[in-house]
């Protein structure tokens, strides 16, 4: 035995091989720059609505400080079931088809762990949020990326999907409204995808965490199509819709046999989700509709403003109809995404997220979050404009 401790030899090669998050890498630099402002954050700028906070305080006062059922409070699961039924007309049994998790993130993780094994192929439309790929790799699965394009409004098309399906395809990840592009899939768009997968043995992981932030007027889910209820695990949560990121509460729903496997992992790894957060979430689902409408209207105004201003500046920007991101092309500057973001940060002290952090197909784009006040967006846009004028002059 050697005297010097070598942590490296103890680490799992699978974990070691996973690259660090591209967003994180960039923002570690941002924190070191004095006076830098950012449009990088991926969480609402609103505080959780007061009545939801009050419900949590009440739960604390009443001493609800114990574990809940592994599945979560039944009252919360019933409220979630009612909400899904109201939105999509699909019924889920709160007893064994809905699991309350620690954020949507845990739900994604345990869903992939429950479904994906060594060699299984997982189809991932990109650009995509950074969490799916590492989760698949930790399950020894293989990520097959499907490139979505700006000319298709970053939607998944049936042609692109068909090209990548093989005998080993196990799971298709649908993440709409999408982070980072802001793309949505309408009912008609999803119907095309349904036609491709309906006669194939493919499960769907539908991450609908941004479903309440849809500016088209109508949300849609793959579960609305015949037979897809059993073949889809839907992931959702309270973070984005009700501005409850710090409460760490999400949920997953799907076929009871599969959900019992997700719950088995959840039981061993987590036991149960935070109790106080669950009481707050009951209040949110039952009485938070007006809060959602208010926040969505505010986001929608900012969205229109950003898209208009970016296009005016010559940064081509398709109209994103969901989430709180715009994903303009910076190709006209001749720079790569990373160069653009690094130079912008150096020159104007403004941090955006380079598009390639969300997969190679994000190259040539930057992600701009509008979870910021209109005043802050105006200041930031002024900096982008000044930067563009400077590099165009050079």
Residues at the site binding another protein, with contacts judged by CB under 8 A:
21, 23-24, 27, 30, 38, 40-43, 45, 130-131, 297, 300-301, 304-305, 308-309, 374
**CB of 168: closest distance to another protein in angstroms?**
29
C-alpha–C-alpha distance, residues 56 and 43, integer Å: 20
Name the residue among 118, 108, 233, 111 with its Cα closest to residue 168: 118
- Interhelix angle 256-269/103-115, nearest 10 degrees: 120
Closest distance between another protein and the C-beta of residue 255, in Å?
29
For another protein, the closer CB: 227 or 246: 246
> CB of residue 143 vs another protein: minimum separation in angstroms?
17
Whose Cβ is closer to another protein: residue 287's or residue 305's?
A: 305
Residue 195 C-alpha from the chain's centroid:
25
Q: How far is the CB of 41 from another protein (least distance, A)?
A: 5
Within 10 angstroms of residue 181's Cβ, the number of other Cβ atoms is 31
Both tokens of 289, joined, read 């509709």
Q: Which is nearer to another protein, 24 or 140 (CB)?
A: 24
Measured from the CB of residue 134, what is the shortest distance to another protein in angstroms?
A: 10
C-beta of 130 vs 171, nearer to another protein: 130
Nearest to 107, CA basis, from 199, 231, 237: 237
Cis omega before residue 127 (within 30°)? Answer: yes
Phi, psi of 309 (to 5 degrees): -65, -40
Distance CA 290, CA 288 (A): 6
Q: How far is the CB of 301 from another protein (least distance, A)?
A: 4
For another protein, which is the closer residue by CB, 198 or 304?
A: 304
Nearer to another protein, 333 or 369 (CB): 369
Instruction: Work out how close the CB of 21 gets to another protein at its nearest, in angstroms, rounded to a whole number.
Output: 5
Helix (H) or strand (E) holding 311: helix 289-312
Q: In this complex, which beta carbon is closest to another protein, that of residue 84 or of residue 344?
A: 344
Parallel, antiparallel or unpaired: strands 366-369 and 353-354:
antiparallel
Nearer to another protein, 38 or 356 (CB): 38
Number of other residues whose CB lies within 10 A of the CB of residue 389: 11
386 contacts 348 by C-beta, under 8 angstroms: yes
Cβ atoms of 382 and 356 closer than 8 Å = no
Beta carbon of residue 208, minimum distance to another protein (angstroms, whole number)? 19
Counting Cβ atoms within 10 Å, is residue 235 exposed (0-12), middle (13-18) or buried (19+)? buried
């Amino acid at each position: 035995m050697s005297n010097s401790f070598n942590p490296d030899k103890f680490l799992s090669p699978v974990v070691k091989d996973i690259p660090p998050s591209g967003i994180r890498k960039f923002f570690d630099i941002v924190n070191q720059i004095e006076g830098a402002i950012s449009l990088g954050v991926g969480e609402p700028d609103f505080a959780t609505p007061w009545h939801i906070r009050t419900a949590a305080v009440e739960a604390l006062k009443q001493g609800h400080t114990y574990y809940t059922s592994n599945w979560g409070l039944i009252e919360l699961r019933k409220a979630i079931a009612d909400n899904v039924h109201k939105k999509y007309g699909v019924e889920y049994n709160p007893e064994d088809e809905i699991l309350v998790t620690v954020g949507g993130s845990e739900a994604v993780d345990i869903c992939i762990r429950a479904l994906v094994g060594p060699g299984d192929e997982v189809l991932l439309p990109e650009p995509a949020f950074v969490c799916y790929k590492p989760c698949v790799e930790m399950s020894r699965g293989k990520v097959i990326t499907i490139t979505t394009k700006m000319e298709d409004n970053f939607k998944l098309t049936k042609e692109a999907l068909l090209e990548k399906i093989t005998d080993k395809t196990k799971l298709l990840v649908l993440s709409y409204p999408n982070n980072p592009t802001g793309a949505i899939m309408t009912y008609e768009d999803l119907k095309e995808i349904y036609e491709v997968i309906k006669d194939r043995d493919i499960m769907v992981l539908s991450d609908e965490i941004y479903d309440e932030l849809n500016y088209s007027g109508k949300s849609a889910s793959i579960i609305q199509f015949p037979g897809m209820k059993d073949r889809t695990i839907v992931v959702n949560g309270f973070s984005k819709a009700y501005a409850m990121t710090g409460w760490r509460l999400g949920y997953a729903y799907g076929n009871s046999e599969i959900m019992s496997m997700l719950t088995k992992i959840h039981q061993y790894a987590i036991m149960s989700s935070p109790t106080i957060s669950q009481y707050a979430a009951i209040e949110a689902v039952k009485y938070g509709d007006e809060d959602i409408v208010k926040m969505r209207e505010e986001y929608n105004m900012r969205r229109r403003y950003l898209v208009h201003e970016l296009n005016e500046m010559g940064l081509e920007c398709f109209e994103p109809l969901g989430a709180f991101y715009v994903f303009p092309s910076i190709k006209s500057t001749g720079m790569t995404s990373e160069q653009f973001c690094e130079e912008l940060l150096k020159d104007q002290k403004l941090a955006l997220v380079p598009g390639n952090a969300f997969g190679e197909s994000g190259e040539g784009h930057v992600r701009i979050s509008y979870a910021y006040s209109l005043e802050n967006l105006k200041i930031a846009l002024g900096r982008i404009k000044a930067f563009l004028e400077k590099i165009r002059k050079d």
